[in-house]
């Protein structure tokens, strides 16, 4: 069966005690997952990484006062409904607030919970499209939500045609979890709906190598053969993927099995009720150190934090600068050796040795 409502949880092999404890969390944020994704869960393992991403937990009810309803300030930079314009040359456009799955760790979960009934209507997007048309500095339109691929092919094609009619837009980006949770949705009709004048980039959201299956491999192949650029963002989640071996396997398999380049590893946002998922930044930096150099550079994402309030993404590092004095640097190598480096520039003439 698929998970559509909180009541459906009772039909899943969840211990009755857990079910009662977690019911309140189910009431506070939508519950939904396609059957194919639920089938990946090993129910014997309470800490199964897929289970933790979709089955509500009482931990979600624990709210720190520093957590926020709008954790990354999308509303603070919204010059038109369903649009966020934070960076000069690219905007987020929200055609829908619905998804194929409701991820327990979703950073935008409160906008989804509040607005999911609104769904899609091109009329609701007219002010946002007019704003994009009036701002020639915008080169990239990022469809997010919600999950834009939940829309049917006709609606996607209508939206793509409207966006590509704006001459200064060059690239259409889609942020989507559908290739992970509903890979059979990726078909020739979808490719036709998206293909046109614009460069197309699909950014997926895989968090664990267990999410990679034969069907996701086929979905990724369809998108690659269409000529789309494929990237992935992962959210660093305690108890799901905060482990060097889990991340190494995930990032390698994304590249080697799917042909998808890891783009961002997101530090868990300040969304309400995510304390149980949040690692320290130090932990994230240690994990990145355990990856760089040890896996191909093709497999290595940027570790970033989205600042609360809407000031954008901060690249967190780690830094490989151990010390510096003027043009004399001391660097740390990937395997922790210290090496001196003297910059060869006229401002730094060679010294007598
Ligand atoms: C993350 C984000 C983007 C995209 O940023 P890139 O670094 O280009 O991936 C654009 N707009 C907003 C508001 C964002 O939060
Ligand atoms: S698919 Fe994306 S937007 Fe939807 S619940 Fe998951 S993380 Fe949030």
* pLDDT per residue as tens digits for the range 53-96: 999 999 999 999 999 888 877 788 999 999 999 999 999 999 99
CB atoms within 10 A of CB 13: 7
Cβ proximity of 273 and 61 under 8 Å: yes
Give the number of whichever ligand sits closest to the CA of residue 179: 2
Please report, for the domain that includes residue 99, its CATH number.
3.20.20.70
Give the number of whichever ligand sits closest to the CA of residue 301: 1
Same domain, 170 and 55: no
Q: How far is the CA of 94 from the centre of ligand 1 (A)?
A: 13
Domain that holds residue 27: 6-61
Catalytic (active site) residue 299: no
* Residue 184: closest CA among 160, 213, 207: 213
173-226 confidence digits (pLDDT tens): 999 999 999 999 999 999 999 999 999 999 999 999 999 999 999 999 999 999
Same domain, 124 and 219: yes
Question: What is the distance between the alpha carbons of residues 345 and 19, in angstroms, rounded to a whole number?
Answer: 66
Q: How far is the CA of 85 from the centre of ligand 1 (A)?
A: 9
Residue 139 lies in a domain: yes
310-334 confidence digits (pLDDT tens): 889 999 999 999 999 999 999 999 9
Cβ proximity of 195 and 226 under 8 Å: yes
Cβ proximity of 26 and 56 under 8 Å: yes
Residue 340 lies in a domain: no
Same domain, 43 and 119: no
Same domain, 200 and 101: yes
pLDDT at 114: 54
| Region 44-55 average pLDDT | 94
Same domain, 135 and 260: yes
Catalytic (active site) residue 278: no
| Region 112-127 average pLDDT | 75
Q: How far is the CA of 302 from the centre of ligand 1 (A)?
A: 13
Residue 344 lies in a domain: no
Question: What is the distance between the alpha carbons of residues 99 and 119, in angstroms, rounded to a whole number?
Answer: 10
Catalytic (active site) residue 108: yes
Q: Whose CA is nearest to atom 5 of ligand 2?
A: 102
Residue 70 lies in a domain: no
Same domain, 28 and 129: no
pLDDT at 46: 87
pLDDT over threshold 80, residue 117: no
Pocket test for ligand 2, best of 102, 143, 148 (most atoms within 8 A of CB): 102
User: Where is pLDDT greater, at 45 or 110?
Assistant: 45
158-182 confidence digits (pLDDT tens): 999 999 999 999 999 999 999 999 9
Same domain, 185 and 231: yes
Q: Is the CB of 30 under 6 A from ligand 1?
A: no
Residue 69 lies in a domain: no
* Residue 181: closest CA among 34, 48, 50, 55: 34
Counting the structural domains of the chain, the total is: 2
Catalytic (active site) residue 337: no
Same domain, 140 and 259: yes
Same domain, 42 and 163: no
Q: Whose CA is nearest to atom 4 of ligand 1?
A: 90
| Region 141-153 average pLDDT | 94
- Catalytic residue selected from 99, 104, 109, 210: 99
- Catalytic residue selected from 51, 108, 109, 173: 108
Catalytic (active site) residue 313: yes
Catalytic (active site) residue 86: yes
Same domain, 54 and 86: no
The residue from 61, 92, 107 where one domain ends is 61
| Region 237-262 average pLDDT | 98
pLDDT at 177: 98
Same domain, 30 and 87: no
In ligand 1, the atom with minimum distance to the C-alpha of 72 is: 15
Residue 349 lies in a domain: no
269-279 confidence digits (pLDDT tens): 999 999 999 99
Catalytic (active site) residue 90: yes
Reported as a pLDDT band with limits 50, 70 and 90, residue 235 is: very high
pLDDT at 306: 94
Long-range contacts of the stretch 39-47 (C-beta < 8 A, 24+)? 40/210, 40/211, 40/213, 43/12, 43/13, 43/14, 47/239
pLDDT over threshold 70, residue 1: no
Give the ranges where the chain is alpha helix by DSSP (H). Answer: 16-28, 35-38, 49-54, 109-115, 122-133, 153-164, 178-181, 188-194, 214-225, 244-253, 281-291
Q: Is the CB of 233 under 6 A from ligand 1?
A: no
Residue 142 lies in a domain: yes
Residue 335 lies in a domain: no
Q: Is the CB of 86 under 6 A from ligand 1?
A: yes
Question: What is the distance between the alpha carbons of residues 156 and 172, in angstroms, rounded to a whole number?
Answer: 12
Reported as a pLDDT band with limits 50, 70 and 90, residue 113 is: low
Q: How far is the CA of 94 from the centre of ligand 2 (A)?
A: 12
Same domain, 155 and 189: yes
Q: In 3-state terms, what secondary structure has residue 309?
A: coil
């Amino acid at each position: 069966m698929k998970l559509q409502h909180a009541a459906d949880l009772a039909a899943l092999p969840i211990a009755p005690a857990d079910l009662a404890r977690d019911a309140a969390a189910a009431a506070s944020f939508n519950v939904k997952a396609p059957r194919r994704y639920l089938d990946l869960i090993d129910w014997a393992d309470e800490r199964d990484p897929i289970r933790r991403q979709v089955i509500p937990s009482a931990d979600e009810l624990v709210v720190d006062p520093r957590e926020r309803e709008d954790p990354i300030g999308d509303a603070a930079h919204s010059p038109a409904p369903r649009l966020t314009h934070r960076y000069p040359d690219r905007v987020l456009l929200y055609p829908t607030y619905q998804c194929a799955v409701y991820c327990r760790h979703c950073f935008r979960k409160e906008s989804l919970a509040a607005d999911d009934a609104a769904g899609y209507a091109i009329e609701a997007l007219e002010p946002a499209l007019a704003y994009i048309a009036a701002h020639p500095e915008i080169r990239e339109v990022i469809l997010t939500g919600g999950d834009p691929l939940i829309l049917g092919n006709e609606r996607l094609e209508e939206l793509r045609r409207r966006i590509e009619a704006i001459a200064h837009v060059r690239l259409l980006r889609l942020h989507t979890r559908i290739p992970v949770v509903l890979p059979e949705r990726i078909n020739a009709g979808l490719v036709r709906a998206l293909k046109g004048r614009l460069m197309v980039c699909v950014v997926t959201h895989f968090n664990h190598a267990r999410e990679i299956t034969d069907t996701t491999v086929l979905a990724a192949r369809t998108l690659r053969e269409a000529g789309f650029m494929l990237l992935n963002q992962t959210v660093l989640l305690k108890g799901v993927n905060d482990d060097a071996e889990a991340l190494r396997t995930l990032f390698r398999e994304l590249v080697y099995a799917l042909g998808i380049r890891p783009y961002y590893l997101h530090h868990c946002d300040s969304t309400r009720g995510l304390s149980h998922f949040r690692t320290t930044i130090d932990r994230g930096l240690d994990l990145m150190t355990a990856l760089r150099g040890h896996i191909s550079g093709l497999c290595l994402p940027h570790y970033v934090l989205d600042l609360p309030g809407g000031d954008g993404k901060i690249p967190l590092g780690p830094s490989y600068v151990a010390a510096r004095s003027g043009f004399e640097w001391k660097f740390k190598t990937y395997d922790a050796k210290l090496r001196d480096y003297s910059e060869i520039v006229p401002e730094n003439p060679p010294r007598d040795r």
